[in-house]
Amino acid sequence: MFEARMAAMEGAEAARATASGMAAVTAAMMGQLRAGDHVVAARALFGSCRWVIDEWLPRFGVATTTVDGLDLAQWAAAVRPDTKSFFLETPTNPTLKVVDIEAIVARKKHALVVVDNTFATPVVQRPLELGADAVVHSTTKYLGGHSDTVGGAVIVRDPELHEQVRFVQNSVGAVPGPLDCFLVHRGLRTLHLRVAAHTESARVVSEYLLDQPRVEDVRWPGFGGMVSFRHPAAVALATATNLFTLAESLGGVESLIEVPQAMTHQSVEGSAAAVPADLVRLSCGVEAPEDLVEDLSAALSAVAEPAVASL
């Protein structure tokens, strides 16, 4: 039932559920790649995706090239005769840049385009309708929506590739438990309502942050609950909130705050995919937006620079 619902939401004939978001990413790659193939991937990806692309695939004879996801010329220049796959996410994690899926599809030549649609969800964005060949999700996030399950999903356009993904899912044990499928299926029923509430919360929060001293580079893609910004006291700020819980993950009904450089993206520190130490990422939940603003206001006041005594 969950797989059928996911396929319908993404506009495909079939979908495969997996035990985690990374299991979905791995199944999508293993289903199409062989030794001697080449993958082009965006630099801005979930940290564990970088492990697979930079460390795991090369061990099995798959060459990889990393590009700036927003630079269309780099995508086009990276294509080789042995290029089999493009991999990207949009909006990007954690910098929340929006990548042009259709423009990248136009430059794929013979490659298959795989899009991580976790942040946008099918409510906002349906990559298959924009020309992508496959979509992956961490259903742990917005689709489940209640921070009480772990899972993933792969949705592909081509029936043959779908069978390859199904084979990987079954043969390597990347299958979810029935309770996890039930929980995500439950979450899908309220997804459109929750995305609307997340969007309103993030809109109000991002507008508030734009006018705050020492807050820079506020980013919100215009939908969903993800907001990022930079603040010199990022760690202190993340530990000073009360309504925003200091935690990784995202997309649940409760609001979360984190410092990616020290948490979700610590594994890519020192690489081209590293993120600034002063970057703060918010996952705005469905609480009253004014309460979220009040919580951030108190935290920002708590970490404000001490006043300089007059002489």
Length of the chain (residues) = 311
pTM comes to 0.94
Examine residue 207 and state whether it is found in any structural domain, yes or no. Answer: yes
Residues 251 and 106 reside in one and the same domain: no
Residue type for 243, please?
L
Examine residue 309 and state whether it is found in any structural domain, yes or no. Answer: no
Residue 268: per-residue pLDDT: 66
Our count of domains for the chain comes to 2
Which of the listed residues 188, 205, 222 is the one where a domain comes to its end?
188
Residue 229: per-residue pLDDT: 98
Cα–Cα nearest to 249, from 171, 134, 143, 107: 143
pLDDT tens digit string along 210-262? 999 999 999 999 999 999 999 999 999 999 999 999 999 999 999 999 999 98
Examine residue 310 and state whether it is found in any structural domain, yes or no. Answer: no
Residues 60 and 95 reside in one and the same domain: yes
Residues 63 and 164 reside in one and the same domain: yes
Examine residue 237 and state whether it is found in any structural domain, yes or no. Answer: yes
Residues 18 and 115 reside in one and the same domain: yes
Residue 306: per-residue pLDDT: 52
Helices 178-188 and 191-209: crossing angle, nearest 10°?
70
Say if residues 181 and 151 touch (Cβ distance below 8 Å): yes
Residues 175 and 28 reside in one and the same domain: yes
Report, as ranges of residue numbers, the positions in the chain whose pLDDT lies below 50: 307-311
CATH of the domain at 290: 3.90.1150.10
Residues 294 and 223 reside in one and the same domain: yes
Residue identified by tokens 């009904």 is: 253
Residues 168 and 54 reside in one and the same domain: yes
Which of the listed residues 165, 188, 211 is the one where a domain comes to its end?
188
Examine residue 234 and state whether it is found in any structural domain, yes or no. Answer: yes
CATH of the domain at 8: 3.40.640.10
Rounded (10°) CA dihedral 31, 180, 146, 209: -20
Say if residues 29 and 51 touch (Cβ distance below 8 Å): no
Examine residue 311 and state whether it is found in any structural domain, yes or no. Answer: no
Q: Give me the domain span that covers residue 13.
A: 2-188
Examine residue 46 and state whether it is found in any structural domain, yes or no. Answer: yes
Residues 238 and 167 reside in one and the same domain: no
Residue 267: per-residue pLDDT: 63
Count of other CB atoms within 10 angstroms of residue 177: 13
The alpha-carbon radius of gyration of the chain (Å, integer) is 20
Residues 166 and 197 reside in one and the same domain: no
Examine residue 152 and state whether it is found in any structural domain, yes or no. Answer: yes
Say if residues 191 and 239 touch (Cβ distance below 8 Å): no
pLDDT tens digit string along 81-115? 999 999 999 999 999 999 999 999 999 999 999 99
Residue type for 284, please?
C
Residues 130 and 209 reside in one and the same domain: no
| 3-state DSSP of the chain | CHHHHHHHHHCCCCEEEECCHHHHHHHHHHCCCCCCCEEEEECCCCHHHHHHHHHHHHHCCCEEEEECCCCHHHHHHHCCCCEEEEEEECCCCCCCCCCCHHHHHCCCCCCEEEEECCCCHHHHCCHHHHCCCEEEEECCCCCCCCCCCCCEEEEECCHHHHHHHHHHHHHCCCCCCHHHHHHHHHHHCCHHHHHHHHHHHHHHHHHHHCCCCCCEEEECCCCCCEEEEECCCHHHHHCCCCCCEECCCCCCCCCEEECHHHCCCHHHCCCCCCCCCCEEEEECCCCCHHHHHHHHHHHHHHCCCCCCCCC
Residues 43 and 97 reside in one and the same domain: yes
Residues 119 and 245 reside in one and the same domain: no
Give me 12's structure tokens: 């495909």
Give strand pairing partners of 279. Answer: 230
Residue 309: per-residue pLDDT: 35
Which of the listed residues 188, 207, 234 is the one where a domain comes to its end?
188
